[in-house]
Chains A and B, each alone.
Chain A
């Protein structure tokens, strides 16, 4: 069981309130997206969950354990792949595990095979394309011993086609193990396509302005992107974001 709970989290930097009373619950095995414009305090929220600094008030718990201000309790995938250039792909995907426990090479090799990187396990990151790097980075966080995953706009640097490929790929991998995921993005379609639930983050100070459940059945197929319902949700979100920024 890995349930991530955030209660009444607030954080100010100097005079600016960046987060105000943010509360959210992510159930075990749920895929939740946090959608908001750039600079809306998403990364501050992530840094708080990651324990890089402590909130002014509020708490974060994982499976009932208070993890407020504690590092390394959550598996993390950053916006840039952040692979270590001197490590082979295999050694890179083992890194997060290595920080916590004895790494399991066989499992890592198995995962690399599954994601189509088996030929590249001895290659260095610079030999990979952007999409392959993100796959390796995702495998690294999957292999990380923590149960809940934090994905920080992982596909934002990729081109449109690769991004769509990667979204499909991410779902196919996710559906096997169903880890608890908090996915940050500013791409509305990406959020709808991937998530069970979308939380829309308002601007400065960031609060959750709206929660939307996505009812598409899983495993999801590409076609839903063009369905009436998908477009309807997209429109709804778009209006919320627009009205919020006009306040």
Chain B
């Protein structure tokens, strides 16, 4: 974090190179617009695309929230019911080899072009990282602390709420960070498949009319959305896991 300026300078250099080369080699702006053109478009057409943003944000956040809740619920269920875990866990792992996106047309047939199939897609891509990370966190619970809790006479419920759950929190946050990015991707792709509003829609429209600058604006918006969501989770993590960030006498 201290040397953040080195990659920042590098990034700035790349953007300048992009700007210079598009001008130098007279690259047509429908193939590759210069950063300055993209920026200009982003500012000028704000009123044209702003309603798309809110639609995607709402979709992303609701899908993320539902996906994460289901992911946590599944993890807890599998954890407390070892038999179910034995049965379901391998299937769950196997299912992750299916790119969720190929299920999208099916979901459209079943649920139409409304919000529901989109939420389902986002949920499907989101829940898995959370489930796996959470289960992992439960499994890695410190043996010494488990032993202490047993000797102290903790009940199963106390073992879970006072030890296993807080112990799994760092893992859960890693899962959340992965899911956050997935949820934005899920939202945009589900919009491609058919929607009336959203960054995905704006992107498809721009692409079919060869407004490459607008495609870039849409990409920029997606990146921004990812960053904001990711950043928000890191902020919450810093607060919730503040014990991890205190200076230790011996680590």
What is the interface of chain A, defined by CB distance below 8 A to chain B?
A: 46-47, 50-52, 71-76, 78, 80, 82, 84-87, 95-96, 98-100, 123-124, 126-130, 144, 150
Contacts and interface: CB of A to CB of B under 8 A. Distances in A.
B169 interface: yes
Interface of B: 144-145, 147-155, 158, 162-163, 166-167, 169, 241, 243-244, 246-251
Given A71-B153, A76-B151, A127 B145 contact: no
A95 B153 CA distance: 11
A127 B242 CA distance: 13
Given A80-B144, A99-B158, A124-B243, A71 B250 contact: no
A78 B148 contact: yes
A99 B154 contact: yes
A99 B152 contact: yes
B152 A84 contact: no
B166 A50 contact: no
Given A51-B153, A73-B153, 9 more contacts: A47-B151, A50-B151, A84-B163, A85-B243, A86-B166, A96-B152, A127-B246, A127-B247, A144-B152
A207 to B, nearest CB: 24
A143 B162 CA distance: 18
- Of all A-B residue pairs in the complex, the 9 with the closest CB atoms, nearest first, are A72-B153, A126-B248, A82-B148, A76-B151, A50-B151, A71-B153, A124-B243, A86-B243, A86-B166
Nearest to A70: B153
Contact of A127 (B155, B241, B249): B249
Contacts, number: 71
A76 B249 contact: no
Contact of A72 (B152, B163, B243, B244): B152
A86 B153 contact: no
B150 A52 contact: yes
A94 to B, nearest CB: 11
A100 B147 CA distance: 17
Nearest to B245: A124
B151 A126 contact: no
19 contacts: A46-B151, A47-B151, A52-B151, A76-B152, A82-B144, A82-B145, A84-B166, A85-B243, A86-B169, A87-B243, A96-B152, A99-B155, A99-B158, A126-B246, A127-B246, A127-B247, A127-B249, A129-B249, A144-B152
Nearest to B147: A78
A73 B248 CA distance: 34
B145 to A, nearest CB: 6
Given A52-B150, A99-B158, A78 B249 contact: no
Contacts of B150: 50, 52, 71
Nearest to B153: A72
Contacts of A78: 144, 147-148, 151
Contacts of A127: 246-249
